[in-house]
Chain A
Amino acid sequence: VKLFEKVGRVFSDALRFATRRPRRTAALRARADIGTYVNRIISDAVLFNELPSPTEKEEVRCNFILRRLTEFGYTEVAVDEHGNVSVIVPASGESVQYVLVFADIRCEEYSPAESLARLEKERVVGRGIAENSLGVSGLLVLAEYLIKNQIQLGLNLVLLFTSFDPGAQETQPLEHFLRGWAARLAFGVNVRGLGLGRVEERPMGTYKLVVTARTPERQVLGTEPGASAITVLANVAHRLGSIRWDSQNDTFLNVARIQAGVGFGWYAAEGVMELEIFSANRDALEMTRKAVGATIANLAAEAGASAEITVKTFFPTGNAEMNTGLNRALQGIQARLKIKSLPVSLPDHSAVLNSLGLPAVSVGIATGRKSFREEYVDIRPIEAGFRQLFSFLEESTRERAGGHA
């Protein structure tokens, strides 16, 4: 009986999409009112942004997504033991291939006060809103848009809400998900809040490292010799900055932040430095990380200090060649929608798919800013961003479906 119920639910979702008017009419009609979905994207981003994160398997955020998808009318929403929430939107034809469309639901910078978003005339302001919540709400509203307008695309879609623990040493939930799905996927799309118009032409692998230096406590007017944490970190920054990391100049190091000090009258006994290493070459990235670690350890030891290095974020190196077709398609749509294309080299979750031999791109749906002090998204471009996402999926799945036929 349970098996029949399950099969029934799967067919129910498929039927919901299948027993309709011709899909092109639905798609054309829907495209006309895509703008009415902008407020839903903003509203969901605001509500989602207020949910605490990180939490164990992001349970609170997963429950929000689960409830939303059920409200939209999806009857077969899957939740796995790693906290991945997914739903399938069946293709219009007989396709056996799927496109993975995913967003990251975890927010490292959530703050109970600063993540309460503020709506201004032209922008939405709040910690986490741009980098994190807008991408999630964009994907949620895409799910709503497809089912409400009865739209089916050339290939099946798997809409996935997953989380990336940037400092995790163990396997990420997305990688767990891909173990069961990679063989059925044609390509992947990472939906992001920021980055409208960006085209990741050279997806760089990235390490963000946190270096904590400690020195013995010393008074400024004391007689004991030794270095302060400030001197140690400044020396490390200076030395690392002068190193050329590979012969092709494909690897870069950036000292993003240095903070140290205890109070007046005392030398700083503890300091923190944040470093980023970027590389378009996977081996060079790993080699550089090891070399940076060794250099820091040596310099700290020479100064009589201790240094502890932790990985704050890791993004694998992507495969630019593999993504060329998708990037061209994305640029074509951007040109048509009058969205200015901006080729960039940035770290990207979609590189995880490249490492499995799958093309993947990131699609940003808004402009805005994330800085140390504030984070916001501009409201006006969201409509174009959402239209871009839908058009990209529609055209690239149609092309692939045609190719396979």
Chain B
Amino acid sequence: VKEESPIIANTFHHSEFADTGKLVEQKERQGVTISLAFPTLNEEATLGKEILVLKTELMDRFPLLNEIAVIDSGSTDRTREVAADNGARVFSSRDILRSHGTYRGKGENLWKSLYVLSGDLIVWIDADISNIGPQFVTGLVGPLLRDTRICYVKAFYERPLRAAGELAPSGGGRVTEILVRPLFSLFYPELAYLIQPLSGEYAGRRSVLERLPFSVGYGVEIGHLIDVYHGFGVGALAQVNMDSRVHRNQSVHALGRMAFGILHTFFHRLETYGGARQLRDLGRMHITVSAVDSRHEVSLTEITAEERPPMVELEEYRKKFGAARPG
């Protein structure tokens, strides 16, 4: 079955934006600035290479990026030292907007990054990419610089797993295929055209991002997609093929916690936008049971379902960036 979708029309390959010099020209002509941020928690193994390559390529050789920053959740390894050694600005998440408290989670880091970054376009990249290259940035900012109607760009890719010295195909994101795509197909079929809605690499316009609420945990990506869809239309979304992203494998338990957080955010959005009505409060604990010898081990993990308000609702933010309170 062939279906037309604005997302398919806004699907690109990173090679379409490989001419970095041209992107710099577009950026300068439009008078915009671009910030790159890495949300981190114990990423010393891959972060240094990511920063060195992207800074060398996209700041020293081509002035595409105005800044590179790391927003750290309290790493206990050398993540912050590695980032600073390689020339990134390093922030501790808890030190940003201290009066608003702190949560531990990727979404929290992304939300707080809006306050410390200066760019008009914001790029977020996960810090565990083994095969980093400039395409992870140029591919994401390319559509934003080319088409002003596009506001939010997601990466997609093959995701081979690095195990035992080999790269093996992973068969795509498991949480995406088993959970998110069925949910989208049921409630938001237009968004089911996103190939990897949960990818950790995306970019957006500050003017849009500052108006989005942020789930502090695993639900940040799905929340953004639904909010952009409702607030700015499906045509504001784009996706870019990055070919391949080599990453660490995650355990089924970790994926289960992720799915729990995503469901929380999804149900919350259904309620917000009138897609469904919740008749009872959702549980806060993710429960797993495993068989250990002749016993059963039960483990309860609290997954935060907190949401941060749109950044533009904060007075400090409006003062710093001269933004207007949402109407």
Contacts and interface: CB of A to CB of B under 8 A. Distances in A.
B281 interface: no
A129 to B, nearest CB: 11
A33 to B, nearest CB: 12
B40 to A, nearest CB: 15
Given A47-B53, A118-B45, A121-B85, A39 B131 contact: no
B56 interface: yes
Contacts of B60: 36, 39-40
B265 interface: no
B166 A39 contact: no
B167 A71 contact: no
Contact of B165 (A36, A71, A114, A119): A114
B167 A43 contact: no
Nearest to B246: A116
Nearest to B18: A67
Nearest to A68: B61
B162 A119 contact: no
B80 interface: no
Contact of B56 (A43, A50, A71, A117): A43
Contacts of A121: 48, 78, 82, 85
B200 to A, nearest CB: 18
Contacts of B160: 112
A43 B130 CA distance: 14
A119 B167 contact: no
A221 interface: no
A46 B45 contact: no
Contacts of A50: 131, 133
B306 interface: no
Contact of B131 (A36, A114, A116): A116
A40 B48 contact: no
A67 B166 CA distance: 29
Interface in A118-160: 118-121
B167 A112 contact: yes
B202 to A, nearest CB: 22
Contacts of B52: 39, 42-43, 46, 119
A65 to B, nearest CB: 15
Contacts of B131: 50, 116
B133 A116 contact: no
Interface residues of B, number: 26
A223 B130 CA distance: 54
B167 A40 contact: no
B132 to A, nearest CB: 8
Contacts of B48: 119-121
B53 A116 contact: no
Interface string B20-61: 110000000000000000000000011011001101110011
B247 to A, nearest CB: 11
Contacts of B133: 47, 50
A111 interface: yes
A113 B167 contact: yes
Nearest to B161: A113
Interface string B127-153: 000110100000000000000000000
Contacts of B165: 111, 113-114
Contacts of B57: 43
Nearest to B81: A121
Contacts of A71: 20-21, 61
A46 B246 contact: no
Contacts of A67: 18
Contacts of B56: 39-40, 42-43
| Max chain B Cβ within 10 angstroms of own Cβ: one of A39, A42, A113, A118 | A113
A113 B53 contact: no
A130 to B, nearest CB: 16
Nearest to B51: A119
Interface in B160-177: 160, 162, 165-167
A113 B167 CA distance: 6
Contacts of A39: 52, 55-56, 60
A112 B130 CA distance: 11
A18 B96 CA distance: 52
Contacts of A42: 52, 56
Nearest to B21: A71
A46 B49 contact: yes
Contacts of A111: 165
Contacts of B61: 40, 71
| Max chain A Cβ within 10 angstroms of own Cβ: one of B46, B57, B160 | B57
B49 A117 contact: yes
Given A39-B56, A47-B133, A118 B166 contact: no
Interface in A284-314: none
Interface string A68-112: 000100000000000000000000000000000000000000011
A47 B167 CA distance: 17
Nearest to A44: B56
Contacts of A47: 53, 133
A113 B166 contact: yes
Contact of A119 (B18, B49, B246): B49
Contacts of B20: 71
Given A42-B52, A116-B246, 5 more contacts: A36-B60, A42-B56, A46-B49, A112-B167, A121-B78
Interface of A: 36, 39-40, 42-43, 46-47, 50, 67, 71, 111-114, 116-121
9 contacts: A39-B56, A40-B61, A42-B52, A71-B20, A113-B162, A114-B165, A116-B131, A118-B49, A121-B48
Q: Which 3 A-B pairs have the closest CB atoms?
A: A43-B56, A119-B49, A119-B48
